[in-house]
Amino acid sequence: MDDSVTRALSHLFYAACFTCSSTLSEGRSEIGRMTMKEATTFATAKLLAVAVAMFAFGFALVPLYEIYCQVTGANGKTGDQYQATEQLVIDESREVTVQFLANNNANMPWQFRPSVRTMKVVPGKMYETTFFAGNITRDSMVGQAVPSVAPFHAAEYFHKTECFCFEQQELAGGDQIDMPLRFIIDPQLPETVKTLTLSYTLFDVTEAVRASVAAE
């Protein structure tokens, strides 16, 4: 585990907690010197500030989570788009079972599921499947899928040549999409690994994207 990444994540978390705690503590001392109306207005403003801070921190967790997993290899985080430097040897002597899972983050209302739950694959061959996403709300939203592979130590052998997780997915209210995934299981996958599970968690990053566009 990279110490600098761990320290950065820890510092950010404690900074957020300290800010919220300090804000509330200062609020209590100030309220004691105010009239009822002033105290109500002051408390409302403080609570709103805390809510905005924690809301922003929540959006920051998605990219921080990705950076942390890429650096440390934790949670079976898979790498970026795979580009073969040499042709992989197809190992016809074995089969590996690949399971597909789809999960929504707590605040993501979309429908999200794999088109197939399992596949039998031969290491070295390329395979293709899809994941379905449907925006069941009336509003346009942007989703970001974050992948992980189990067992964790096998993540480096799961190569994605095309994946919807490489890009953010924007869907208008009521829209649906079948998102492609192409992958290869590396023939160097340890023979003790018989089953791989590729899991995606879908996050709502709509507000973060809008904030980024507005800041440009």
pLDDT, tens digit only, all 216 positions of the chain: 444 444 444 444 444 444 444 444 555 555 455 566 555 665 566 566 545 445 444 444 444 444 444 433 444 455 555 555 567 889 999 999 999 999 999 999 999 999 999 999 999 999 999 999 999 999 999 999 999 999 999 999 999 999 999 999 999 999 999 999 999 999 999 999 999 999 999 999 999 999 888 887
Domain count, the chain: 2
Q: Cα separation of 81 and 84, whole Å?
A: 10
Task: Please give the order of strands across the beta sheet that includes 141-150.
Answer: 118-121, 96-104, 195-204, 141-150, 169-171
- Tell me: do 166 and 203 sit in the same domain: yes
**Beta strand residue intervals within 17-157, DSSP E:** 96-104, 111-114, 118-121, 126-134, 141-150
- Tell me: do 148 and 49 sit in the same domain: no
pTM for the whole structure: 0.65
- Beta carbons within 8 Å of 187's beta carbon, 6+ residues apart: 88, 89, 90, 91, 123, 124
Count of positions (residues) in the chain:
216
- Tell me: do 80 and 155 sit in the same domain: yes
- Beta carbons within 8 Å of 11's beta carbon, 6+ residues apart: none
φ, ψ (nearest 5 deg) of residue 58: -60, -40
Domain membership of residue 123 as a residue range: 76-215
- At which of 72, 90, 118 does a domain end? 72
Q: How far is C-alpha 125 from the chain's CA centre?
A: 27
